[in-house]
Amino acid sequence: SVLAAGNRAGDGVVRHGAGYRFDENGWIYLHIEGEPYERGVQHGYLLAPELADLLRSLKYVSFWSTGKHWEYFVENATRMFAPHLGDEYLAEIQGIADGAKAAGTDITWQDILTWNGYSELSGYWWPNEKAGKYAHTDHEGCSALIATGSATADGKIVMAHNTWDVYELGQVCNVILDIAPAKGHRMFMQSRPGYIHSKTDFALTDAGI
């Protein structure tokens, strides 16, 4: 198991290769670094228990909300998304699956790919596919605010964001992902287990963006 005593330091930090995680107040801080595949392996290995729970949830949530089994979305995500992803994204996704498998979680790169595009699949593609034409989907989204100038105590920016999602999947937006790529800028983002993007719209790079 990824949480075996041999992998856990006395400070509660769990390590795999150059990556590590620690948990605090319901948040998972995950640091990964290196080339895309290496980052993915660290990610998948260190978050393998969460990925196992997540896949179980996705299998019944997708059927409950659409009447279609998870495999249906996996098949279509692979058909639509995989040919258009760059090598870096595919390598990281493959690494996540391989890392999770090494830690005992049975999950495929196609599952990881589908999870990364699940919001688009379930919220946009599936309603159109079901209708057989373009179907306007009118549902609530996220909310946010930003204030600056005289609206804040020091004139600096205050920004906040609420992610609106079903509880089953919204509760896993508890990953602080710290990415140090072999090339490019280090970045932090609020994310989910298995994601190579934020989904919650919060990210910061060491370039100040």
Predicted confidence at residue 26, as pLDDT, reads 94
Residue 152 has pLDDT above 80, yes or no: yes
Predicted confidence at residue 137, as pLDDT, reads 58
Residue 27 has pLDDT above 60, yes or no: yes
Both tokens assigned to 18: 């150059």
Closest C-alpha among 129, 149, 137, 123 to residue 79: 129
Predicted confidence at residue 140, as pLDDT, reads 63
Mean pLDDT estimate for the chain:
89
Report yes or no: 38 and 30 within 8 Å, Cβ to Cβ: no
C-alpha to C-alpha distance for 46 and 181, rounded to whole angstroms: 17
Inter-CA distances, 131 with 74, 82, 128, Å: 20, 24, 5
pLDDT band at 4 (very low <50, low <70, confident <90, very high): very low
pLDDT band at 3 (very low <50, low <70, confident <90, very high): very low
Confidence (pTM): 0.86
Q: Work out whether strand 175-181 and strand 27-34 pair parallel, antiparallel, or are unpaired.
A: parallel
pLDDT band at 193 (very low <50, low <70, confident <90, very high): very high
Closest C-alpha among 106, 123, 110, 130 to residue 70: 110
Predicted confidence at residue 174, as pLDDT, reads 94
Query: Hey, which of 81-85, 119-123, 132-136, 196-200 has the most confident mean pLDDT?
Result: 81-85
Closest C-alpha among 39, 22, 41 to residue 179: 39
Predicted confidence at residue 202, as pLDDT, reads 76
Amino acid (1-letter code) at residue 11: D
* Dihedral of the alpha carbons of 80, 84, 88, 89, in degrees to the nearest 10: -30
